[in-house]
Amino acid sequence: MTTTFSESINAGLDANSTSTVTDTLDIKANREVVFEVYGESGTHATHVVTLQKSLDGTNWTNTSNTQNQLGILNNIQVTARYVRCKVTTAEGGASSIKIIVQAK
């Protein structure tokens, strides 16, 4: 059995805007997702990043998987074709983040 791997790296994202989303990642037949949030500049005390999923790459729904501030979420099981991350609670001050989304 061959395991495929997909990755999306988005740097310089505005953590102070709820319109900030990462690039869409086509996870194909993969179902296990990991996402990491790294601080690049500013403070990182209040922002929340949420994993979103989509069957068609157009209509998005939030999952229950959120990362408050900085860190990593592992072993997220997803039943969709596409994923991305969205800032769902803004930082409240100038700051930027890097988000890495991986699927295997």
> Which residues of the chain form beta strands (DSSP E)?
6-14, 25-26, 32-42, 48-54, 61-68, 71-77, 82-89, 95-103
Average pLDDT over residues 61-88: 94
- Mean pLDDT over each residue of the chain, to the nearest integer: 92
Sign of CA dihedral 17, 34, 42, 93: positive
Query: Closest Cα partner for 44 from 1, 93, 102?
Result: 93
pTM of the complete model beyond 0.75: yes
Note the pLDDT of residue 51. 97
| All domains of the chain in start order, with CATH | 6-103 (2.60.120.380)
CA distances, 102 to each of 59, 70, 80 (Å): 20, 16, 14
pLDDT per residue as tens digits for the range 7-61: 889 999 999 999 999 999 999 888 899 999 999 999 999 999 999 999 999 999 9
